[in-house]
Amino acid sequence: MRPSTSGRTCCPSEGSRVGVFPRPLFVLSGAAGVTCCLCILPERFARDSSICDMFFTWRFVSTLRVTDVLNDSYAWPLLVYMGASCVYPLASSCAHTFSSMSRNARHICYFLDYGAVNFFSLGSAIAYSAYVFPDALVNTVFHEYYVALAVLNTSISTGLSCYSRFLEVQKPRLCKMLRVLAFAYPYTWDSLPIFSRLFLFPGESAQNEATLYHQKHMAMTLLASFLYSAHLPERLAPGRFDYIGHSHQLFHVCVILATHMQMEAILLDKTLRKEWLLAHSRPLLFSQIAGAILLCLIFSLSNIVYFSAALYRIPEPELHKKET
């Protein structure tokens, strides 16, 4: 960190660090205040956003440049998915960067983060519906309502994950359980076509090089979930992984790798199954895709606005009681 003109670092001393936020389990040193937050902003974005989000943005723009967007309706679900994959790493990076500015800012930043993750969940469902469904389930009732229920899941998941933050101090275990459930449920729903394809209805057209990437995606997602829930490795050596190598950092690394594997699998399925899908599957209409995205945004933003307003309805004495 570059020193200020007074010879001191721009970050406040350990004694002046913000102490009202609940720390993750087994992490002993704390969050910085707003001054340090703004000082590390360029560094934080360079590490968290540029490396991950810029990569997915590059993939998205590269695909966009070689696609006839107006006429190639077969590519629309892919573009929605790739666009969503650019949004959630950026939202997560912003949430982690600005979360130490104030108590309410912390919660609102993560509300937006949860909304972005659920938007990505919907993007995955749209791409899965278009390219990944096994032969035996194409054009079934499950296939017809798959995206519609994925939209509903985004609303439930965003609401549940936002609500869990109100339990963060008083009931941390229940908070963690609800948050894991909030993201595990839509992921499980989105992945049902993958599970069915790998274990129940393989189908001739679904047996291709994408299968290995789907398996790697599932493995990385399970590893990310395990690290997030188990608090490893900091559980084994509290205080030694406060800044580098703690479970939340490893969780983000695994999630980004899982997204990369998922993207490769979807791209392969889109290419290798194109002839079969165009002959046997009904493509998603523009109105269906746009309607799903619009409803997702309305539901998620409504949840975020509601829970953000609820933060300011908590009486000040009760607020201090919860944070001490």
Instruction: List binding-site positions for Zn(2+).
Output: 96, 248, 252
Q: What CA–CA distance (Å, rounded) separates 57 from 232?
A: 31
Q: Using alpha carbons only, what angle is made at residue 190 by residues 115 and 192, rounded to the nearest 5 degrees?
A: 160
Neighbours of 240 (CB within 10 A): 14
Report residue 227 CA to chain centroid gap.
15
Q: What CA–CA distance (Å, rounded) separates 135 from 115?
A: 32
- What distances in angstroms separate CA 271 from CA 56, 75, 120, 278, one per listed residue? 19, 10, 22, 11
Angle between helices 141-164 and 172-195 (to 10 degrees): 160
Q: Which of 205, 198, 159, 130 is nearest to 303 (CA)?
A: 159
Would you say how long the chain is, in residues? Answer: 324
Do 232 and 247 form a contact (C-beta atoms < 8 A)? Answer: yes
The annotated binding site is made up of: 96, 248, 252
Q: Phi/psi at 22 (nearest 5 deg)? A: -65, 130
149: Cβ contacts below 8 Å, ≥ 6 apart: 189
Q: What CA–CA distance (Å, rounded) separates 114 from 160?
A: 10
Q: Which of 100, 43, 30, 45 is nearest to 243 (CA)?
A: 30
Reduced to 3 states (helix: H, G, I; strand: E, B; else coil), residue 9 is: strand
Q: What CA–CA distance (Å, rounded) separates 86 from 249?
A: 19
Do 63 and 276 form a contact (C-beta atoms < 8 A)? Answer: no
